[in-house]
């Protein structure tokens, strides 16, 4: 259930803001939020291992100035293309047609937007991030209405502009915070990869240990029976010789 904002406000602190948003909008595990997250990863060209740094590069001062000179109305140009996504098609990433990426980049180019990414070091409500977020949600909504998000069984009641905006804001806050903490450096990603691999190995060992113990128990039982049989056979031979 989506709850109302306490006192009609949200905290300005990033951590508290993220927590506040999580109480009033669909959870990050919902298909609605997952579709927006996946769409962002697609249009920002974020690979699954996050090793490519281009998406987290900050816009240059000249680019920021160029964006500041653009009006918000540049996002009003309609998208005329219709998308139909076949879930089994190979030309899809994160469950979304790659045509969505082409349409998005073409729209940004036509609008002369300087760089297809967020300004991670700037506030969410900065002019750059306002324009870029509107472009993202404009194309997400187009993909949804055109069948491009068929792999996400979205709850229709979640699909409101306010929900979409706040879900995108929550995603932006999370990613910008991680960038500040340098979680996507090659060293950090290598460490995370090692930890995940180690965790999988531990789970596998934990899963196999009971079976291994049972196998050892059965093996011990068989050895005991063989030894008992051998001793019994020797005793029988010994009795036969004494007679």
Which residue, 67, 75, 158, 193, is CA-closest to 118? 67
User: Do 44 and 179 form a contact (C-beta atoms < 8 A)?
Assistant: no
Q: Is pLDDT larger for residue 205 or for residue 180? A: 180
This prediction's pTM: 0.69
Question: Tell me: the pLDDT tens digits for 57-94?
Answer: 889 999 999 999 999 999 999 887 766 666 556 567 78
Instruction: Give residue-wise pLDDT tens across range 39-67.
Output: 999 999 887 555 566 777 889 999 999 99
CA separation for the pair 209, 206 (Å, rounded): 5
The helix or strand, by DSSP H or E, that contains position 97, with its residue range, turns out to be strand 96-97
Query: Rounded to 5, what percent of the chain is helix, strand, coil?
Result: 65, 0, 35
The H or E element that residue 209 is part of is: helix 186-242
Please compute Rg for the chain using Cα positions: 29
- What residues does each domain of the chain span? 6-184, 186-243
* CB neighbourhood size of 91 (10 A): 9
User: Got the DSSP string for 123-183?
Assistant: -TTSHHHHHHHHHHHHHHHHHHHTTTTTTS---GGG--HHHHHHHHHHHHHHHHHHHHTTT
């Amino acid at each position: 259930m989506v709850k109302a904002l306490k006192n009609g406000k949200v905290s300005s602190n990033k951590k508290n803001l993220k927590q506040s948003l999580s109480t009033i909008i669909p959870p990050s595990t919902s298909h609605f939020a997952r579709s927006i997250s996946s769409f962002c990863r697609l249009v920002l060209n974020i690979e699954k291992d996050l090793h490519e740094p281009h998406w987290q590069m900050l816009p240059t001062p000249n680019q920021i100035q160029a964006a500041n000179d653009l009006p918000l109305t540049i996002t009003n140009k309609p998208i005329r293309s219709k998308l139909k996504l076949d879930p089994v098609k190979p030309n899809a990433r994160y469950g979304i047609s790659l045509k969505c990426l082409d349409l998005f980049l073409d729209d940004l180019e036509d609008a002369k937007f300087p760089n297809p990414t967020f300004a991670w070091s700037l506030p969410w409500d900065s002019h750059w991030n306002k324009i870029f977020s509107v472009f993202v949600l404009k194309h997400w909504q187009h993909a949804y209405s055109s069948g491009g998000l068929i792999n996400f069984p979205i709850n229709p009641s979640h699909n409101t502009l306010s929900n979409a905006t706040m879900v995108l804001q929550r995603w932006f806050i999370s990613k910008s915070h991680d960038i500040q903490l340098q979680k996507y450096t090659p060293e950090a990603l290598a460490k995370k990869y090692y930890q995940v691999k180690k965790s999988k190995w531990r789970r596998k060992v934990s899963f196999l240990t009971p079976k291994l113990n049972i196998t050892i128990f059965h093996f011990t039982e068989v050895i005991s029976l063989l030894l008992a049989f051998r001793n019994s056979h020797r005793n029988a031979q010994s009795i036969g010789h004494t007679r």
